[in-house]
Chain A
Amino acid sequence: MRILIIEDEFDLAKALAKGLKNNGYAADIALLGEEALQKIEFNEYDLAVLDLNLPDIDGLELCKTLRAWRPKLLILILTCRKRLKDKVMGLDMGADDYLAKPFHFQELLARIRALLRRDLPTKEPILQVGDLKLDPSSRTVFKGNRRLELRNKEFCILEYLMRRAGEVISQEELLEHAWGEEELDFFTANLRVHIHSLRKELNDDAQNPKYIETLPGVGYRLKRGEN
């Protein structure tokens, strides 16, 4: 899942990006409203963390613009303003949730997870496809009773595939949602490597896949296992 952090306090934004990456998200930073608009235009984000107090654009205005542009983007507002009016205004401008500064990082993570659940058919906190179980909060994956040891990117890829289980996901889409801007160097080769090691961990056979199907020239698909 890819997140855009729109926050003018550089030290805060940096820490947020780092924390989110540690937790298996891809995260980019925009220090200004203009920058945020550009990034949103060129990249696919699942969620934006938006500070209302930006030097160039009014946060609420930006929120409205983002909402109009990207109806499916989840928006979480960060604000120093504790007044009820600001919260109500923020939500009415199209934000999905808000958090008042200073906040606990754990709470931010929990809220992000809750927001990401919204698009799923079930509101279960644990993603389940066939005998695969993925818990975003503890960042653990189980295949049956066996716990899988996944690295950050593998986890990230698997999470995205599980959220969209049964759908065909193009390589570009997977890259968009699992990689941040700074990481987009090695591109597809990198993706193949990660899919390969993910399969290995899943004990999957590329020729006769039980989990991840490769559709040459199109993308990948996670099978909705019946078992």
Chain B
Amino acid sequence: MKFSSLFKIFSQPPTLKGKLVAISIIVLFLLNCFSLVFVNLAATFFVTRYINFSFLGEPFPENFYTLSSTSAVEGSFPTPSAVIQFVTPSEIIEARRLAQSTLQNLRVFSIGLLFFTTVLGGIGIYFLSRRTLRPLEEVSQTAKEISARSLERRLSFPESADEVKALADAFNTMLERLEKSFRDQERFSSSVAHELRTPLATMRTNLEVVLQNKEATAEEYQEMGKTIEKALSRLEEIVENLLLLSKGEKELERSWVFLAPLLEEIRHELLPLSREKDVRVLVEAERNTQCFADEALLFRALKNVIENGIRYNRPGGYVRVTYFQEEEWVVVKVEDNGVGIPADEQDSIFEIFSRGAQARKLYKEGTGLGLAITRLIVELHGGKIEVQSSPNAGTAFKIFLPSI
């Protein structure tokens, strides 16, 4: 029927289906050949023996009966004792000729049958393999159609439970993971874009407004310069932090770090801020605690948390830092009695660019990257960070670092 589609199989580079069909046809052909040879040999043997026996009284071999069917045992074949006849030479010749032509026919017939079954079997195999391999084609078709824009598509094979189904399932779970990481990526870049565009827009508008004004005074230029400088520093800070966020584990430069001097340094660096906000930073020193960490990154991680405690606080408030060994962890606890975090914001504070409503008022210039960076650094070290907070009462962060 579809000659062209048959033709196509041979013109294409070998597909799984093509290979399957070819191998099956070859095997079928060889099997048929064997049976052809066997049938012909057996027929020759049997006919010769039969003629010899019938006409010349030569006995059948003993095992002939066991080879042939039961009907032969029961006597439809002439048994040795039943055959006593007189035969002329011409009859023998006639009988041999008859046998020859029968064998000839058999040969022609069986060769014909060989080709017939091979072709028929081949066609059968072709359709069978097409049927079994169709799901695979669907898999590859869907895979081709899925792009970054249509990651929500899935394969579905409800009817079967075979290897193809297993493949489809594996494929689907892979798609799920891909989709999730792709969505995360998308969210990340769209929020990055948002955060970068705001200072960019400020810079551009300020520039253009002053440039457009032919009568702009030196004062106006001055003011523009200051505004642009401010926006620029913000951009720099965001970019700096984003670069920090793309750090991988490989880049850690670990050494043994004593926590006491590290925290003292942080406290010292935050002194101007804590004076301005009138918030005391208390570090309860414990001389011997150390952990195996990247000093610069650990500094950054702890500073972010302590800085938050100062910023989201009230005048006269405090931030208390304690640290101690707990089972296999070194725990650093940063508590404050500041504004606290409402329950509905607590889940998202570690995400990038997420900022609380209170925080926006108290510290307008914040980027919302601080805790995301802290969490990343802590996790790169194999640790974890937890938060407990009650609004208007205070917040406690617990940072767990592996002690070795």
Interface residues of A (CB under 8 A from B): 9, 11-12, 14-16, 18-19, 22, 53, 55-56, 78, 80-83, 101-106
The answer on a CB contact under 8 Å between A82 and B193 is yes
The answer on a CB contact under 8 Å between B193 and A16 is no
Q: Which residues of A contact B194 (CB under 8 A)?
A: 53, 80-81
Give the docked Cα–Cα distance between A103 and B146 (Å): 35
Give the docked Cα–Cα distance between A150 and B66 (Å): 127
A22-B212, A81-B190, A83-B190 are known contacts. Are A15 and B206 too (CB-CB below 8 A)? yes
Interface pick from B159-167, B196-204, B249-257, B296-304: B196-204
The residue that B205 contacts in the complex, of A55, A56, A82, A105, with Cβ under 8 A, is: A105
The residue that A105 contacts in the complex, of B198, B200, B208, B231, with Cβ under 8 A, is: B208
Query: B143: shortest Cβ distance to chain A, in Å?
Result: 27
The answer on a CB contact under 8 Å between A102 and B227 is no
Give the docked Cα–Cα distance between A169 and B225 (Å): 42
Chain B residue nearest in CB terms to A56: B357
The answer on a CB contact under 8 Å between B202 and A19 is no
List 15 A-B pairs, Cβ < 8 Å: A9-B198, A11-B202, A11-B231, A12-B202, A19-B208, A19-B212, A55-B360, A80-B197, A80-B201, A101-B197, A101-B198, A101-B200, A103-B201, A103-B204, A105-B208
Query: A179: shortest Cβ distance to chain B, in Å?
Result: 20
Query: B366: shortest Cβ distance to chain A, in Å?
Result: 12
Q: Which residues of A contact B227 (CB under 8 A)?
A: 11, 14-15
Chain B residue nearest in CB terms to A20: B209
Give the docked Cα–Cα distance between A14 and B224 (Å): 11
Q: Which residues of A contact B230 (CB under 8 A)?
A: 11
B5 at the A interface (CB under 8 A): no
Give the docked Cα–Cα distance between A9 and B194 (Å): 13
Give the docked Cα–Cα distance between A15 and B231 (Å): 13
Q: Which residues of B contact A82 (CB under 8 A)?
A: 193
Q: Which residues of A contact B212 (CB under 8 A)?
A: 19, 22, 105-106
Query: B353: shortest Cβ distance to chain A, in Å?
Result: 11
B213 at the A interface (CB under 8 A): yes
Query: B197: shortest Cβ distance to chain A, in Å?
Result: 4
Give the docked Cα–Cα distance between A12 and B190 (Å): 21
Query: B228: shortest Cβ distance to chain A, in Å?
Result: 9
The answer on a CB contact under 8 Å between B209 and A105 is yes
The answer on a CB contact under 8 Å between A104 and B204 is yes
Query: A105: shortest Cβ distance to chain B, in Å?
Result: 4
Query: A60: shortest Cβ distance to chain B, in Å?
Result: 15
Give the docked Cα–Cα distance between A15 and B193 (Å): 22
Give the docked Cα–Cα distance between A13 and B230 (Å): 15
CB within 8 Å of A: which B173-203 residues = 190, 193-194, 197-198, 200-203
Q: Which residues of B contact A55 (CB under 8 A)?
A: 357, 360
Query: B202: shortest Cβ distance to chain A, in Å?
Result: 4
Query: A100: shortest Cβ distance to chain B, in Å?
Result: 8
Q: Which residues of A contact B201 (CB under 8 A)?
A: 9, 12, 78, 80, 101-103
Give the docked Cα–Cα distance between A157 and B337 (Å): 56
* A12-B206, A15-B224, A102-B201 given; 14 more Cβ-contact pairs under 8 Å: A9-B202, A11-B202, A11-B206, A12-B205, A19-B205, A22-B212, A78-B201, A81-B190, A81-B194, A101-B198, A101-B200, A102-B197, A102-B200, A104-B208
The answer on a CB contact under 8 Å between A16 and B208 is no
Chain B residue nearest in CB terms to A23: B212
Give the docked Cα–Cα distance between A9 and B355 (Å): 16
Give the docked Cα–Cα distance between A103 and B231 (Å): 16
Query: A139: shortest Cβ distance to chain B, in Å?
Result: 11
Q: Which residues of A contact B204 (CB under 8 A)?
A: 102-105
Query: A111: shortest Cβ distance to chain B, in Å?
Result: 14
Query: B140: shortest Cβ distance to chain A, in Å?
Result: 31
Closest 7 pairs (CB-CB, A-B): A19-B209, A102-B201, A105-B208, A101-B201, A12-B202, A15-B206, A80-B194
Query: A108: shortest Cβ distance to chain B, in Å?
Result: 8
Query: B261: shortest Cβ distance to chain A, in Å?
Result: 39
Give the docked Cα–Cα distance between A22 and B210 (Å): 9
Q: Which of A9, A15, A105 has the most CB of B within 10 A?
A: A15
Q: Which residues of B contact A11 (CB under 8 A)?
A: 202, 206, 227, 230-231
Q: Which of B193, B202, B205 has the most CB of A within 10 A?
A: B205
